[in-house]
Amino acid sequence: MEENLRKIPLIVIAGPTGVGKSALSIELAKHFSGEVINGDSMQIYEALDIGTGKITEAEMQGIPHHLLSFKKSWESYDASQFKADATEAIQAIYERGNLPIVVGGTGLYIEGLLFDLGFGQAGSHDPAVRRRLQERAAALGNEVLWQELKAMDAGAAAKIPVQNTRRLIRALEVIEVTGKLFSEQEEHKNQVQVFDSCLLVLDRPRDVLYDRINRRVELMIDEGLEEEAEALYQRSPEQNEQSTKGIGYKEWWPYFQGQATLAEVIAAIQQNSRRYAKRQLTWFRNRFQEKHWLTIESEAKALEEAIDIVSRHLNIEEMSN
C-alpha cells in the first residue's frame, strides 16, 4: 500500500440496487465539490444503459463521472483492474482539488478498493486454467464446479453462491495456480484502509426497497430494455461473455429462444433483482467493520444526515441555517 494514498479523503456510497445511490451522490458531489467514480461492475459497459440503471447525462447535473461506459460488452473486467483504474481516478480527482466519491453496489469492487486485499497477486492468474474452467462450467454447469470447490475449500464455497460463475472460476483458478486455499487468501479480519475513506451504506425498509425495484424494472421495459438485451443476444447467443450474465440481460435468453413469455422475463428480472439486493445488503453488513448505515425514509433527512457524516469525516464545520 502506498503511504501517500492514506491521506486522500474518499467517500464511498454503497448499497443495494434501486436504493437511490446515484441521486444521493449527485447532491453530495454538488455540496462538497466532488467527482463521481462508478463502482458497479455492469455500468462499465457502453450500450448497456437501461438494464444497468446507469445514470443519464441529465441526471449527472454537470458532475464529472468516471469509469462509466468505457468497456465493450464483450470485454472482461475484474476487481483487480477496477482497483487500478479507480485508484488512478481517485488520485487525479484529489490532485484537482476535488473530492472523490465512489458509487456502486458491487461489494467485491468496493472491498478490493478500500482495503489492501492483494488482488492480482503475482502467480495467482493463469489464462489457460481460467479458460479450461470456463469451458467446464459451460459444459457441466455451476453446481459441479461448486461441489468441487466445496471439497477443496469449504470456507470459500460457503461465501460464493453457486450462481456466481465468475467467482467460482476465480476461486478454483487461484487454488490450482497457487496451491493455497482461496478462503485463506481472502481473510481480511484486520482491515487496513488504503485511503482515508468514509463508507455510507444506503438501505430502505424492505417493502419499500422491493417495491422500488419492481417499479424500476417496469420502467426499464418501457424505456426499451428488450431492444438493448436483444442487441447483446445477437452478439453472444451462447451467452459466453461476461456482460451477458448480468441481471436484466440474462433473463431474456429464453424469451429470444421462444421458451419464455415477456411476463415471465419481467417477473424473473424483478425476482433476481430483489434477491441480489438482499445479497448486497448481507455483504455490506458482514464484510465491512467500519460503515455508516443510512436507512432512507425521507430523502431530505437522509441527505442531511449524509452531509453531516461526510462533513465530520472531512473535519468541516457545517454552517447552521
Tell me 224's DSSP state. Answer: T
- Stretch 70-77: mean pLDDT: 92
**18 a known binding residue?**
yes
Question: Is it the case that residue 1 has pLDDT exceeding 70?
Answer: no
Task: List the beta bridge partners of residue 201.
Answer: 14, 293
**72 a known binding residue?**
no
Question: Is it the case that residue 193 has pLDDT exceeding 90?
Answer: no
**224 a known binding residue?**
no
> Given this structure, which CATH class describes domain 3-117+188-313?
alpha beta
- Stretch 154-170: mean pLDDT: 87
Question: What percentage of the chain reaches a pLDDT higher than 90?
Answer: 69
Give residue limits of the domains in the chain.
Answer: 3-117+188-313, 127-185
User: In this structure, which topology does domain 127-185 adopt according to CATH?
Assistant: Histone, subunit A (1.10.20)
**22 a known binding residue?**
yes
Question: What phi, psi does 193 have (nearest 5°)?
Answer: -75, 140
At 164, is the pLDDT very low, low, confident or very high (cuts 50, 70, 90)? confident
Question: What percentage of the chain reaches a pLDDT higher than 70?
Answer: 93
**16 a known binding residue?**
yes
Question: Is it the case that residue 209 has pLDDT exceeding 90?
Answer: yes
Q: What is the pLDDT of residue 186?
A: 55
The owner of cell 471439497 is 151
Do 3-117+188-313 and 127-185 come out as alike in CATH topology? no
Identify the three-state secondary structure at position 14: strand
The 10s digit of each residue's pLDDT in 232-267 is 999 999 888 889 999 999 999 999 999 999 999 999
Residues 6 or more apart in contact with residue 229 via CB below 8 angstroms? 51, 248, 249, 252, 256
Average pLDDT, the chain: 91
pTM (whole model) above 0.85: no
Identify the three-state secondary structure at position 190: coil
Q: What is the pLDDT of residue 230?
A: 97
Question: What phi, psi does 95 have (nearest 5°)?
Answer: -65, -25
Q: Which of 56-60, 133-137, 188-192 is predicted with the least confidence, judged by mean pLDDT? A: 188-192
Question: What phi, psi does 103 have (nearest 5°)?
Answer: -130, 125
